[in-house]
Structure formats: structure tokens, C-alpha cells
Amino acid sequence: MSRVNHCNISVLLIEDQPAEVEFVEDSLSQVRNCKFSLTHAERLGKGLEYLAENEFDVLLLDLCLPDSDGYETFQKAHTAFPAVPIILITNMDDEDQAERAVREGAQDYLIKRKMDSELLSRSIRYAIERQLAEEALRDSEERYALAVRGANDGLWDWDLVSGKVYYSERWHTMLGLEEFELDGTYEAWTKRVHPDDKTEFKMAMEAHLGSDSDQFSHEHRIRTKSGHYLWVLSRGVAVNDLEGNTLRMAGSMSDITARKRAEEQLMHDALHDYLTGLPNRNLMLDRLDQAIQRLKGRLSKGFAVLFMDLDRFKNVNDSLGHTIGDKLLMQTAERLSMIIRPGDTVARLGGDEFALLLADVHTLSQVTHVADRILEDCSKHVIIDGNEISTSVSIGITMGTDRYESAHEVLRDADIAMYLAKSEGKACYQIFDREMHQRVVKLQRLEVELRQAVERNEFVLHYQPIVSLSNDGLVGFEALIRWNHPERGQVPPGEFIYAAEETGLIVPMGWWTLREACKQTKTWQMQHPSNPPLNISVNVSGKLFNQPDFVVALRRILKDTKLPATSLRIEITESVLLDHADESIAKLAELRKLGVGLHVDDFGTGYSSLTYLQKFNYDTLKIDRSFIEDVVDSDAIVQSIITLGKLLGMNIIAEGVETEDQLEHLRKLECPQVQGFWFSKPVDSTQALELLTNPQAATAGHIM
């Protein structure tokens, strides 16, 4: 593989799942300052044909394909094209095979549910850089081998009968010695060999003198007059008499210091992160394996691993640029390096993930003390190029035990704990236990079933009425997705929405929800004309809203279903918009221009900034149900939100109205619209049609 332009990268993707292909295409198209040219093949055979006919900088390879499965998929591709760096894209249940492939030559592997645009693009760049580093190491060895053969080497000639050794002028010069400063003996030579190399040096010499090897050849360090050590390659051949007794041995000594330094640098680069200088994943895995073996051999008290991920790092990259993001990573590396003790290891695993190996610890309190320090240090504001940045870390902890067989298992469990810390609100740590593993296994199983549900169209929509308190009339519905599992029946949203978010399946599910809701609403409008027409509200996830083609695709859905844009309401939480504020403002402006209504979902639970309320130009605030629960006893917050909305010319909808007292209190507060179980639980389309046919039922309470 030739050195590539990292701003113009050709990628071959061998993947048979259309959703994954679309995800990779979308992810690579979002990367700034780098152009990816993507070629796609559904089968391994076709992909190998492409590789034979074209040059690609990197191969993205799914292990499970129609014409090949498991580790053999990688083996076939790597054997046929060893110079092409390979990144495996796999499900978590294929992770063991992926790890095996990495040991055998794959550059990296990515788990589908964890992939995002930043991780994918970084993995591609790192894979190419590692492949180039490995090629450079091989080229270096070949170049130096040629250089040594043509070099001006020092010569030596050992007469074993007399015990005298002749050392050439060049031999002396290499060590900075005058001829009289070195005795003409073998012992004078061995005294200068580095203590760590001396035993092997003598063994190699004795092996050749004993006819156990055809040639003496040994790399070792030798001390110069100044006290420094050179790396040299000593070679020689013995001459024996007819009885097999060695009479003489002669050879050369070559200075290979430059080669050794180059190899050491290349080896260092292969085991260290290029940005921070910290050990990388490979070196961390090696040291973890050593820690496991030390524990099993009762050579240490124990160990622990802290798996760390920077919170909101993607926001820094997106808003301030990758240069600032890289500097934040370097500062984080410096902070972590200041915390560790001699013998501990801190590594950057990739992206914004770090790991800390604590050696010789046996109590949890020792580990949590370190975790508390990290949380404190990493929560402090930093100023980078004039930008004040606030960040934090989420930490997963696992204690080393003798049940671990490999470093990958330790990192896996620490990673699981870290993701739980993320889900618990970030900026905290969680300690791994066996229940966590069971939860992950359950999540993996749920992910598989969710993917099948998308393919088999197992989702349905339910609709909850929205009622106007000015005339007690039904003005619209909120569309809510439900999953009809073939074995478990209807699965509550709380059990699968999180998994859909984690795996990225929330995007195709979101598109399906929008299209189905618009289609159904248009049908109802034709069956029951009203003025104004019935409207439909659809909750949009952050991942879906942040799709580059969101507005274009939504416009296409409205055109296909013939639903007027003014009949559609998009519900978005405050946090989604604030993650990409500038882009959100532009996108919301396009939606308003189109005529789509914009609702702030769960208002009051997030950032709730007056500045952003004006910038984002919403038309409706939805008061979160947590405030409605206590509205009878404490209505100050609800009253403030209603007043604020009216001052800004916005509509207000109160969610979660479940009692008559709550309803009457909201009437007194002059809340314009409400929804909740008091009127109706979410119902299927047939029951919703009954509500449209008899709209008074929706305002009577307890109808469903």
C-alpha cells in the first residue's frame, strides 16, 4: 500500500445489510476536512474482485456475509491482500472472532452499536497509519541489512591456540580506543559487553565453537571509551582441524546503533498514541495480560482497570473544531499522567477513551480514591486557545481477579461499567459486577430482536389525544411507537427505546414513525374534515434530527403522504438542540419556513434558557409531566411557564394530566391545551378513529 493522502481516502465496504451500508455512507459524509470515496460490495467474492482490480486505502469488512462467515471471512481477505489495512465491523456476539482477527493482522474492529462518525473516521485514519508504520519497519530492516553488508566494519581474528585476538584499527576506532588501550584477549572484549547482553553473547559464541551453529551472529551492546554503549552486530566463522578442534575464529563487528534506534522509535510508535504519546490499546493489552499472569502466579496483590470516556467531547469537536479537540485530549492525558504512580499505566485507547491500569492494589477503596481524584481534576475548566471548556469524565471500574483469562475480558467489563456511568448521568464512576454483564447480554439480544423488528415491520403507532381547554375539543394526537413482539407481545417503550438509541436503530424507526403518522393523519383528515385540520405530533430523537438530510427527507415524506406541513408538529427536547446549537437554529428555520410546527418536549427539565427560546423560535412548549404531578399543591413553576409562553406568543401543552383535580387546576391557570390518561391512554388507529367520530368522548375522562 502506498502512502495515502489522508484528506482523500478510498474505502471498500463489504457489507450485506442495507441499513449498515447507509449508516457508513452517512457517517463518512459527515466527516469534515476529509473526503471518503466509498465502494460497496455485498459479498466477499465480489469485494475480492474489486480489490484485485483497484487500489483501496482501507477495507471495512463485516464478518458475517452471505458467502463467508466468521474468522474465515477475514482470513480470506487478509491472505489475498495482506497490504490492505482491514477494519472489522461486527456485532458484539462476533467480538471474540474479531479480536482473533486483530491478533492475526486486522488493524482494528468496531462494534456496530457503538459506532459513530467520529469513531469510524478516526479508526480508518489510525488503521492506515499503523499499516504504514508496519511497512516502514519492514523496509527499515531491509535497508539496514543492505547497509551493514556494505559498511566499513571492524574486524577481529581470534587464535584459540595462543588465546590472542587481533582487533582491527576500525574495531578500535568504533569504540574510541587507541590500540594500546585494549588487551588482545577475548576477555577484554566480553568485559565491554553490556551486562544484560553478556550471557547470551557468550552462549552464542560457545554454540558456534561447539559446532552447534553454522555461524556466530549476535546483536548486543558494547561500551565505548566514553562509557556510552553502541549497538553492534558481531559475526564470525570458526576454522577447525581434522579432529574438530577449533583453531581460529574470525569475523566482523558492525555498528547498528542507528538501526536499533530507528527500530525502537518505530516500535515505540506502534505501541504509543501519536497524539498524546501515551501507551495505546496494544501496549495496554500487553500490560494487562502481564498483570493477569502476575496475579495468577501470586506475584502481585491484585490490579484494577479504570475505563474513562470524556463527556460531551463530540460537542467540543463539532463546535470548536478538531484542533481544539486534540488539544483537550492532550491536556487530559497530562492530567491523568500526573495522577498515576510508578508502575501504573495510563493509555489512550482511541477517540476520547482512556484506560488506567493500577498495579498492586487489592482494596476497592484504593481504586475509588483514584477515581475521585480523576473526576475532580477532569471537572476543572480549561482554557484552550482562548476558549473556556468545561468537561468531565465517566469512569467504569473493574477489579482484577483470577477468573480473568485475557486482557480483552478486563477491558470489556470496564467498558460495560463505563457505559452504565454514562447512562446514570455522566461525571461519575460505576463498578463492574456480574449483573452488568447480564444486562449487556440482554441488550445484545434485544439489539438482534430490534433489527429483526425493523426488517419484519413489527412496529405500530398508538395515538394519544391532545385537547383544547378553550372548547374541550380534540385538536390532534401525539404519535407514539409501540413494538408488537411475536413472542412477548407488546413491549413497553422504556424497554427498547434506549437500545434503539444505543444501536442507531432509532433513525430508521424514526423515519418509519414520521411516514406512518403523516399517512394516517392524512387519511383521518379526509374522513373527518375540520377547521383547523387535525394535527399530529411526532417525537424526533437527536440522532434523527441531526441527520444531514433531515429537512429534505421530511419534505419528501410530506409530499408522498400529501399531508400539509402545517398539520405536522415536531417534538424535540431542549438538550438535542443545544448539542449543535448553530446547526439546530438553521434547521429549525427551514422547518418553520416549510410550515412544520415546533414543540419543545419536556420543557423545564433541561437548560430552559430564554435566549435559546428566542433563538430556536419554537411555537409550543410542552410542560413536563413531573411538574403536572404536583400542580395542585405547587403551581408556581407551571404558572411561570404558562405566563412565559404567552408572553412569547407560544402555545402551551401540559403533559401527564391524570386526575380531575389536575385538569381543573390547569383550567384556572389558563393552560391552553392538555393531554394525559385522564382523557385517554395512547390507543391504536381504530380506537383513535372512534374518538374522532365522537370527539366529546375524548374530553369526558377515563374513556380508554
Beta-sheet pairing, 86-90 with 108-111: parallel
Note whether 616 and 676 are same-domain residues: yes
The CATH number for 338's domain is 3.30.70.270
Note whether 482 and 579 are same-domain residues: yes
Note whether 129 and 162 are same-domain residues: no
Residue 145 predicted with pLDDT over 70: no
Min mean pLDDT across 35-39, 297-301, 565-569, 697-701 is at 697-701
Residue 196 predicted with pLDDT over 70: yes
**pLDDT per residue as tens digits for the range 448-482:** 899 898 889 899 999 999 999 988 889 999 999 99
**pLDDT per residue as tens digits for the range 509-550:** 999 999 999 999 999 999 988 878 899 999 999 889 989 899
| 251 assigned to some structural domain | yes
Min mean pLDDT across 391-395, 564-568, 580-584 is at 580-584
Note whether 279 and 242 are same-domain residues: no
What is the per-residue burial (b if ≥16 Cβ within 10 Å, else e) of 244-260? Answer: eebebbbbbbbbbeebb
Note whether 484 and 623 are same-domain residues: yes
| Confidence band for 422, pLDDT divided at 50, 70 and 90 | confident
- Cell 378553550: give the residue: 470
Residue 124 predicted with pLDDT over 60: yes
Question: Which one has a higher pLDDT value, 573 or 217?
Answer: 217
Instruction: Note the pLDDT of residue 420.
Output: 85
Beta-sheet pairing, 597-603 with 620-623: parallel
Instruction: Note the pLDDT of residue 158.
Output: 93
User: Bridge partners of 219?
Assistant: 233
Angle, helix 95-103 to helix 71-80, in steps of 10 degrees: 30
Q: What are the backbone dihedrals phi and psi of residue 242, each rounded to the nearest 5 degrees, phi first?
A: -65, -25
Note whether 466 and 573 are same-domain residues: yes
Percent of the chain having pLDDT more than 70? Answer: 93
Question: Which one has a higher pLDDT value, 603 or 704?
Answer: 603
Beta-sheet pairing, 382-384 with 387-389: antiparallel
Cα–Cα dist 106/94, whole Å: 14
Instruction: Note the pLDDT of residue 403.
Output: 86
| Confidence band for 579, pLDDT divided at 50, 70 and 90 | low
Cα–Cα dist 222/195, whole Å: 9
Q: What is the per-residue DSSP string for 123-156?
A: HHHHHHHHHHHHHHHHHHHHHHHHHHHTS--EEE
| Confidence band for 185, pLDDT divided at 50, 70 and 90 | very high
Domain count, the chain: 4
Note whether 470 and 523 are same-domain residues: yes
User: Bridge partners of 392?
Assistant: 311
Note whether 530 and 633 are same-domain residues: yes
Min mean pLDDT across 124-133, 233-242, 401-410 is at 124-133
Q: Nearest-CA neighbor of 159 among 235, 248, 245?
A: 248
Residue 508 predicted with pLDDT over 60: yes
Count of Cβ atoms closer than 10 Å to residue 382 Cβ: 15
Residue 254 predicted with pLDDT over 80: yes
- Cell 459527515: give the residue: 30
Instruction: Note the pLDDT of residue 226.
Output: 94
| 437 assigned to some structural domain | no
**pLDDT per residue as tens digits for the range 617-638:** 788 988 888 888 887 776 788 8
Note whether 205 and 223 are same-domain residues: yes
Q: Nearest-CA neighbor of 676 among 614, 627, 619, 610?
A: 627
Percent of the chain having pLDDT more than 90? Answer: 47
| Confidence band for 149, pLDDT divided at 50, 70 and 90 | very low
Domain boundary among 261, 294, 318: 261
Residue 575 predicted with pLDDT over 60: yes
| 157 assigned to some structural domain | yes
Instruction: Note the pLDDT of residue 307.
Output: 97
| Confidence band for 493, pLDDT divided at 50, 70 and 90 | confident
Domain boundary among 432, 458, 487: 432
- Cell 583453531: give the residue: 247
Note whether 240 and 210 are same-domain residues: yes
Beta-sheet pairing, 58-62 with 35-41: unpaired
Instruction: Say if residues 108 and 115 touch (Cβ distance below 8 Å).
Output: no
Instruction: Say if residues 536 and 701 touch (Cβ distance below 8 Å).
Output: no
Domain boundary among 205, 226, 261: 261
Note whether 237 and 302 are same-domain residues: no
Residue 605 predicted with pLDDT over 70: no
Instruction: Note the pLDDT of residue 697.
Output: 59
| 29 assigned to some structural domain | yes
Cα–Cα dist 416/595, whole Å: 43
- Cell 406541513: give the residue: 565
Min mean pLDDT across 205-209, 379-383, 422-426, 635-639 is at 422-426
* Chain mean pLDDT for the chain: 87
The CATH number for 219's domain is 3.30.450.20
Cα–Cα dist 355/358, whole Å: 10
**Helical (H) or strand (E) element with 250:** strand 246-255
Residue 140 predicted with pLDDT over 70: no
| 577 assigned to some structural domain | yes
Residue 2 predicted with pLDDT over 60: no
Note whether 167 and 186 are same-domain residues: yes
Residue 104 predicted with pLDDT over 90: no
- Cell 498515576: give the residue: 340
Q: Which residues contact 300 (CB under 8 A, 6 or more apart)?
A: 291, 294, 359, 360
The CATH number for 74's domain is 3.40.50.2300
Structural domain for 352, as ranges: 271-432
| 228 assigned to some structural domain | yes
Question: Which one has a higher pLDDT value, 636 or 369?
Answer: 369
| Confidence band for 444, pLDDT divided at 50, 70 and 90 | confident
CA dihedral 593, 597, 601, 604 (to 10 degrees): 80
Establish whether the linkage from the previous residue to 532 is cis, with ω within 30° of 0.
Answer: yes
